[in-house]
Amino acid sequence: MKIEVMDLRFLGEREIIASYLLAGDSSAAIVETGPTTCMQNLLGGLKERGVAPEDVRQVLLTHIHLDHAGASGHLADALPNATFYVHEVGYPHLADPSKLLKSATRLYGERMEELWGEVRSVPEDRIVALKGEGEELEAAGGVLTAHDTPGHAYHHLAFHEPGSGMLFAGDVAGIRLPGMSYVRPPTPPPEVDVAAWVRSIQGIRRISPSVICPTHFGRFEDVERHLSELEQRLQDWLLFVEERLDGGSSREEIAAELKDKGDAEMLAEGSGTQDSGRYDLAGNYEMLVAGIARYVTRRQEGA
Ligand SMILES: [Zn+2]
């Protein structure tokens, strides 16, 4: 099996959203579709690599957020032989995206169309719901294992390909752009659960992949360093946001402070603020603070 990263060129920018191509001898699979706005780039990427749309038999989705799975409905037509694999909790939203779109519209407002484009439903007979931990599925002449990895979203899966040692990590392994070491936790509302996320990171350590492939973006081999940085930053952000909320800061103030802190950390490792701006395309501070603030409130209400 040959594995390649396809750059979907989100908003015309390089290396923000990836789709992974798994090419076998007689069939192919992809992990993540990207949004509808990138679909022509995805289909172009397949063509460039000599993969006919009919050859794609599996589309594996880490979760149903629009930057990862938004093009699925359109691709059900464009990839006529593909079956879509998704966590069982995500399944209803793939078959009928109306609730998902309502929730996304609350976050993205009038930018919905520009960012994600039209979202269509996937016919139910084209979807396989995965029950979660340890489930195996055949793809591109190999067998991948799905791992339950909640934290960014409850219905999040990561897919492990044992031949290459790659873990297609969706958002559970954070945002990290090529050439960078900085890992930014994608923590948008509404489902962020830091405690579950930390347990998922532990779970990834047990899988012990040799390469980690976040959808934002690429492949990284310093797995343990990457995971510890993510874990520490999640804990750090949680404390930071909680403390500022208790102190009466507004979300905007917290987001500005967290950005300054993040930019300083990136500068310290030799990157510039242009890199921070590129990370924003996969998750900006206003949104990430809103997600953590929501987790903090939910936890306080639950306690
Ligand atoms: Zn994402």
pLDDT 10s digit of each residue in the chain, 303 long? Answer: 999 999 999 999 999 999 999 999 999 999 999 999 999 999 999 999 999 999 999 999 999 999 999 999 999 999 999 999 999 999 999 999 999 999 999 999 999 999 999 999 999 999 999 998 999 999 999 999 999 999 999 999 999 999 999 999 999 999 999 999 999 999 999 999 999 999 999 999 999 999 999 999 999 999 999 999 999 999 999 999 999 999 999 999 999 999 999 999 999 988 878 899 999 999 999 999 999 999 999 998 886
> Is 195 in a helix, a strand, or coil?
helix
Q: What is d(CA 174, CA 40) in angstroms, rounded to the nearest whole number?
A: 26
- Helix ranges (H only) for the chain are 39-48, 66-69, 72-78, 91-95, 98-108, 112-116, 194-207, 223-246, 251-268, 273-280, 285-302
> Is 145 in a helix, a strand, or coil?
strand
- Give the amino acid at 216: H
What is the Å distance from ligand 1's center to 25 Cα? Answer: 30
What is the Å distance from ligand 1's center to 67 Cα? Answer: 5
What is the Å distance from ligand 1's center to 65 Cα? Answer: 7
- Helix ranges (H only) for 192-272 are 194-207, 223-246, 251-268
Q: What is d(CA 24, CA 288) in angstroms, rounded to the nearest whole number?
A: 38
Cβ-contact 299, 194 below 8 angstroms = no
Cβ-contact 54, 29 below 8 angstroms = no
Q: Which of 78, 65, 82, 157 is nearest to 126 (CA)?
A: 82
What is the Å distance from ligand 1's center to 9 Cα? Answer: 14
What is the Å distance from ligand 1's center to 283 Cα? Answer: 8
What is the Å distance from ligand 1's center to 247 Cα? Answer: 30
> Is 4 in a helix, a strand, or coil?
strand
Q: Which of 170, 151, 134 is nearest to 62 (CA)?
A: 170
What is the Å distance from ligand 1's center to 225 Cα? Answer: 21
Q: State the pLDDT at residue 303.
A: 61
Backbone angles phi, psi at 292, to 5 degrees: -70, -40
Backbone angles phi, psi at 145, to 5 degrees: -115, 130
Two structure tokens written together for 119: 């979202």
What is the Å distance from ligand 1's center to 216 Cα? Answer: 7
The model's pTM is 0.97
Which residues are placed with Cβ below 5 angstroms of ligand 1, an ion? 67, 171
What is the Å distance from ligand 1's center to 137 Cα? Answer: 23
Q: State the pLDDT at residue 269.
A: 86
